[in-house]
A and B are shown apart, each in its own frame.
With several copies, the nearest count.
Chain A
Amino acid sequence: MTLPGTERTRVEILVDAPLVPQMIALLSKHAIRGHTVMPTLSGEGEAGVWDDDLITSAQHKVIVLVVAEPDKADAFIEDIRPLLDSYGLIVMLSTINVLRPEKFA
């Protein structure tokens, strides 16, 4: 099955809300300008159960969605590798097709 458009790497990072600015700073270090932040409601992992209770955003998680050229995405991934454990990140990578490839250079 072939899809219309051009291939790009889709990176999804599940991260605690207070650390999002740090992620965005890392993105711009790799000249990746675009991203979209998406909400989540609750979850469970090795560190236990969490949900979006109001009291503090310390454990409130969001997903940072980034579409980028494969090379840039790879370089970015290498840079966040050391943070995976301490920041408790979940990273999902896949290949998708986009319609205006020049926007995701």
Chain B
Amino acid sequence: METLLSPVVLFFVLGAFAALVRSDLAIPEAIGKGISLYLMVAIGLKGGVEVAEAGFTLELLVAAAAGIALSFILPLPVFVVLRRVGKLSGVNAAAVSAHYGSVSVVTFVTGLEILTRQQIPAAGYMVAVLALMETPAIVSGLLLAQRYGGAEPRPMGDLLHETLTNASVMLLVGSFSVGLIVGKDGFSSIAPVFEGAFRGVLCLFLLEMGLIAAKRLREGKSLTPRLIALAIATALTNGTLGVLLGAAIGLDAGTAAALGILAGSASYIAVPAAMRLALPQADPGLYLGMSLAVTFPFNILVGIPIYIWIAQQVVR
């Protein structure tokens, strides 16, 4: 409850409200894009500086391996459920499943904020795990589309290049490295922008996200009640799996919760663009509707507190 009253979440609610009452409020596209680049740089730097302080640890490696495994494997059960229960075509089920294997940067960042507020911070290296989880799911999704959806195989080289050089991976890994190199001292001179301003800018971004998610929910033609239910169930299942895996490999409560948040979140920036390119016959209204209009708000309002609660139960 207290979580729901943080400024960040309240601004999300304000944006959603404005869209639902059909206000003409809109944030210019360039501003939204600029803020999302800023958030990735800030979170990358922060992670890098923290790892520079704490040093590389075995724990980091284990968490990274867990993240990559989740991103690769989660699309499989999601695909099966979407086909059987959701009655989606092979190509559509594959495209959606890639979104759920991958992650949402903003969900993660909002989760970190809430964890910090609750005094159970996650480890700094989770930013690296975030970056590592972005793309394996794309590969899984495309393999599923080729095997079960009749999609034409694409050259693996192209695919690898696109996923490794996509903007979010580039920015997250890049600024993580900058943070690692400059360390706490070098960071101090740029901290007013990347640390001091972080929460305020995040508020503005969640205002925008609320607007977009609610607008899409209102206009979404492809979303049936069944698919909405599946989008929520998938988030909950994946998130719980993430927390449990985190606990199993020995992460502390905050860090296990963060892994759960990553697993439970669904991509709506990098993966949709990749799917539009690689599987043009899949329906963007479907995968953007499920990830952006259902799973994202669900996680911000309900999912994150649940994953944190589970983590607090299973880790001690």
Whether A58 pairs with B221 at a CB distance below 8 angstroms is: no
Cβ < 8 Å to B, chain A residues 41-61 = 47-49, 52-59
How many B residues touch A, CB cutoff 8 Å? 30
Binds A, one of B186-194, B249-257, B265-273: B265-273
Give residues of chain A (17-63) contacting chain B, Cβ–Cβ below 8 Å: 18-19, 22, 47-49, 52-59
With an 8 Å Cβ cutoff, the count of chain A residues facing the other chain is: 19
Contacts of B274 in A (CB 8 A): 18
Q: Mark B255-285, 1 if CB is under 8 A from A, else 0.
A: 0000000000000111011111100110111
B219 in the interface (beta carbon within 8 A): yes
Q: Hey, which chain A residues are within 8 Å of B269, CB to CB? A: 55-56
Closest Cβ of chain B: how far from A34's Cβ, in Å? 15
Chain A residues in 8 Å Cβ range of B281? 86
Which segment of B29-37, B111-119, B128-136, B232-240 sits at the interface?
Answer: B29-37
The docked-state distance in angstroms from the alpha carbon of A55 to that of B269 is: 6
A58–B276 touching, CB < 8 Å: yes
Instruction: Please determine whether A55 and B212 come into contact, CB atoms closer than 8 angstroms.
Output: yes
Which chain A positions have C-beta within 8 A of B277? Answer: 18-19, 22
When the two chains form their complex, are residues A58 and B219 in contact, meaning their CB atoms are under 8 A apart? no
Q: Is B215 at the interface (CB under 8 A from chain A)?
A: yes
Q: Which residues on the A side are within 8 Å of B36 (C-beta)?
A: 54-55
Starting from the known contacts A53-B29, A59-B284, 4 additional A-B residue pairs (CB-CB under 8 Å) come to A22-B277, A55-B209, A58-B273, A58-B288
Sample (30) of A-B pairs whose CB atoms are under 8 Å apart: A16-B276, A16-B280, A18-B273, A18-B274, A18-B276, A19-B276, A47-B221, A48-B219, A48-B220, A49-B219, A54-B27, A54-B30, A54-B32, A54-B208, A54-B212, A55-B32, A55-B36, A55-B209, A55-B269, A55-B292, A56-B270, A57-B273, A57-B276, A58-B272, A58-B288, A59-B272, A59-B276, A59-B284, A83-B280, A86-B281
